């Protein structure tokens, strides 16, 4: 959702805050926007576009993204011809094909310890001490998108508090088509929200039990949800959407 009174025409040093698993690849691949992705070395003279997503759904997508890359069969791939059309993460696949692990040895082990997002999320409060410790270690791992979510990029809301006047647009994956149309008009872009950018044919089990959902919400309570509350406070997203982000629909 954009703040219409803020004119894009006066925005210089515009940057896209590409939070993992929030639809940012669709935007980046079809525009010349400069991005912050897996880093947050923001500068003082910048203005920002941000894309967000339900933190629970983002968690599921983040887990399976890592899981699918780690377990992907690369035997039929040409390392010199890796694209988003023939694999879900070309740079990571290239690394995987030249190393003994995909991310790090430990991170690969942690991801593969859990076979579904539900098992992983439920294990955060498991009575089994080993499962609980491994789940919490993975939740707090600095690799990839599980830990580096909305709260991580937005400093648990402090970024919004300090930079709300520099944010010109906040879009959501739940309203992707309409928000990209608005962004196109704002920036005079031609992004096609229906264009399939990433080739991902994996069919993962997205079911989450009530316990799993509660564990995810509790884990992100002081990070993702604090940041989202700040977006509500400054009228970038609605209270209704914020409430919906506490629910999960597959």
> pLDDT 10s digit of each residue in the chain, 250 long?
444 434 454 456 899 999 999 999 999 999 989 999 999 999 989 999 999 999 999 999 999 999 999 999 999 999 999 999 899 999 999 999 999 999 999 999 999 999 999 999 999 999 999 999 999 999 999 999 999 999 999 999 999 999 999 999 999 999 999 999 999 999 999 999 888 777 777 789 999 999 999 999 999 999 999 999 999 999 999 999 999 999 998 7
If one counts every other C-beta atom within 10 angstroms of the C-beta of residue 220, the result is 24
Residue 203 pLDDT? 86
- Per-residue confidence (pLDDT) for residue 78, from 0 to 100: 96
Token digits of residue 201 = 């044919």
- For residue 175, the SS3 value is helix
Backbone angles phi, psi at 152, to 5 degrees: -65, -50
pLDDT for the residue 104: 96
Contacts of 109 (CB under 8 A, 6+ apart): none
Look at residue 3 in the predicted model and tell me its pLDDT: 46
Within a 10 A sphere around the Cβ of 108, how many other Cβ atoms? 20
Q: In the chain, which ranges are E strands?
A: 14-17, 34-36, 47-52, 167-172
| Letter string b/e over residues 50-59, b meaning 16 or more CB atoms within 10 A of that residue's CB | bbbbbbbbbb
* Cβ 67 vs Cβ 204: under 8 Å: yes
């Amino acid at each position: 959702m954009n703040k219409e009174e803020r004119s894009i025409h006066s925005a210089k040093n515009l940057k896209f805050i590409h939070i993992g698993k929030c639809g940012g690849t669709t935007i980046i691949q079809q525009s010349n926007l400069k991005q912050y992705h897996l880093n947050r070395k923001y500068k003082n003279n910048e203005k920002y576009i941000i894309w967000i997503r339900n933190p629970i759904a983002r968690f599921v997508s983040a887990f399976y993204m890592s899981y699918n890359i780690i377990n992907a069969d690369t035997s039929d791939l040409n390392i010199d011809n890796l694209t988003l059309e023939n694999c879900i993460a070309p740079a990571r696949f290239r690394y995987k094909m030249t190393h003994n692990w995909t991310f790090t040895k430990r991170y690969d082990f942690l991801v593969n310890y859990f076979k579904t997002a539900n098992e992983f999320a439920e294990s955060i409060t498991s009575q089994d001490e080993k499962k609980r410790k491994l789940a919490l270690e993975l939740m707090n791992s600095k690799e990839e998108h599980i830990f580096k979510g909305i709260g991580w990029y937005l400093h648990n809301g402090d970024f919004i508090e300090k930079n709300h006047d520099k944010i010109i647009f906040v879009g959501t994956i739940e309203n992707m088509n309409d928000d990209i149309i608005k962004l196109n008009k704002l920036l005079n872009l031609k992004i096609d929200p229906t264009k399939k950018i990433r080739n991902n044919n994996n069919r993962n089990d997205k079911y989450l039990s009530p316990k799993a959902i509660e564990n995810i919400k509790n884990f992100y309570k002081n990070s993702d949800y604090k940041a989202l509350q700040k977006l509500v406070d400054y009228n970038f997203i609605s209270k209704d959407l914020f409430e919906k982000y506490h629910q999960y629909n597959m």
